Homo-oligomer: A and B are copies of this chain.
Amino acid sequence: MVDKVLVFDPAVTDEQIQAWQHHLKLTNGRSTTRRLGPNPVLVVPAAPQGTAVSDQLPVPLREIALTGEIRLSDRSLRPEGTIVRIGPAIIGDGAVNVFAGPCAVETWEQLIATATAVAQCGVIGLRGGAFKPRTSPYSFQGLQWAGLDLLAKARERTGLPVLTEVVEPDHVGRVAATADALQIGARNMQNFSLLTAAGKSGKPVVLKRGFGATIDETLGAAEYLLNQGNDQVIICERGIRTFENATRFTLDLSAVAVFKQRSHLPVMVDPSHAAGIPALIEPLSLAAAAVGADALLIDVHVRPEQALCDGKQAMLPRDFATLMGKLEVLAMGAGRKMGSVPQPDVEELMAQNPV
């Protein structure tokens, strides 16, 4: 079955959309309304003789035929790509953006030391897990709500917006009230009630690809978010399960290029969880930027050997600083710039939080 998707200018009113629906009823049949962020969208069955035009109704920005399932993430709906705003950070405008921080929030000292270090290197956001979904119920599950408070405090000091994982539909409201962006973890990529809740929250969402999920399934999961009218979605490649065990997962950088070609959503890459080996993070980060990723998500820890979760994969701040320098040069070579957020006063920050 082929459907027509009409994308309208944000200025088009609900009344005008209803008038379009009325107008199309006879030629195409019943249409349904959706939103792609600010843009009203109409989905109508494709008519054999084409979709009727009306002089008195606003011309759609774009009119696309999609076979099979409607895909609000389809690139043809927004060929220029989607811009996602996370606090003061802008992702999707062509810049190379880096989120960094500890895998899990453990203590205030650990968090602020790491956050300060990565802020000085020019990242645009702070990552840190308060709720940690763990394979075993007997492993450290995160500081939970207390960890979220520490993240908010670290944002205050560093100016960095906060990206953190949400693991339950019931938590979404409270996490969304504090965090600047919600992360859906790989194990929850097809937790559809969580996706629906995250979509409804209106907050930007970083959706991690499941390590056993195909590219198509990942886009299907994004659709659950978009279907709630939330277009502030970033897809994150973090490695898939393969037979190769020299790395924890196999980072699928081809998928980054495929996501960019099929979808209008920005794409992030998490080399830390993919490789599980600090020495691979630099080359994989450079490769991710070169293949076209909009953002990187990197585990940094001031004392990796003391980390309660995935410490073995974290970079040291000094190696991270080297990486940021190389990324900047590579970005320039590709005619791109590094994304940035307003910097707090570095000296003051150092005085407050000596590493």
Distance to closest chain B CB from A284 (angstroms): 6
**Within 8 Å CB of A243, what residues of B?**
212, 214, 240-243
A136 with B223, Cβ < 8 A, contacts A244-B252, A290-B290 known: yes
With A193-B167, A251-B253, A283-B292 as contacts: A212 and B214 at CB distance below 8 Å: no
CB distance from A247 to the nearest CB of B (A): 5
A50 adjacent to chain B (CB < 8 Å): no
Contacts of A84 in B (CB 8 A): none
Of chain B, the residue at the smallest CB distance from A189 is: B187
Does A29 sit within 8 A of B, measured CB to CB? no
- Chain B residue nearest in CB terms to A246: B215
| Partner-contacting stretch, out of A109-117, A311-319, A329-337 | A329-337
Sample of 10 more A-B contacts, CB < 8 Å, known A135-B221, A242-B242, A242-B243: A133-B192, A169-B169, A214-B245, A241-B241, A250-B250, A253-B253, A257-B283, A283-B291, A287-B288, A290-B330
Q: Does A143 contact B (CB under 8 A)?
A: no
A250 and B240 in contact, given A291-B283, A291-B287 (Cβ under 8 angstroms): yes
State how many angstroms separate the Cβ of A70 from the closest Cβ of chain B.
6
How far in angstroms is the closest Cβ of chain B from A329? 5
Residues of chain B within 8 A (CB-CB) of A332 are 333
Closest B residue to A248 using CB positions? B254
The oligomer's copy count stands at 4
CB nearest neighbor in B for A226:
B137
A–B complex contacts, Cβ < 8 Å, 23 sampled: A135-B221, A136-B223, A137-B227, A187-B190, A188-B190, A188-B191, A191-B191, A214-B244, A215-B244, A242-B243, A247-B255, A250-B250, A253-B287, A254-B275, A254-B280, A254-B284, A257-B283, A261-B279, A283-B291, A290-B291, A290-B330, A326-B334, A329-B334
| 109-145 of chain A: CB within 8 A of chain B | 133-139
Contacts of A247 in B (CB 8 A): 254-255, 258
A92 at interface, CB cutoff 8 A: no
A99 in contact (CB, < 8 A): no
A261–B280 alpha-carbon span in the complex (Å):
9
Q: A216 an interface residue at 8 Å Cβ cutoff?
A: yes
- A227-249 residues with Cβ-Cβ distance < 8 A to B are 227, 240-247
Specify which chain B residues have a CB less than 8 angstroms from the CB of A136 in the assembled complex: 69, 220, 223
Q: Contact: A246 with B255, CB < 8 Å? A: yes
Q: Is the CB of B193 within 8 A of A168?
A: yes
A77 CB to nearest chain B CB (Å): 15
C-alpha gap A275/B332 in the complex (Å): 27
Interface residues of A in 174-231 (CB under 8 A from B): 187-188, 190-194, 210-217, 220-221, 223-224, 227
| CA gap between A206 and B245 in the complex, in Å | 24
* Shortest distance between the CB of A338 and any CB in chain B (Å): 13
- Please tell me if the beta carbons of A223 and B137 are within 8 angstroms of each other in the complex: yes
Distance between A244 CB and nearest chain B CB, rounded to angstroms? 6
Would you list the 5 A-B pairs with minimal beta carbon distance, nearest first? Answer: A212-B212, A333-B333, A290-B290, A241-B243, A187-B190
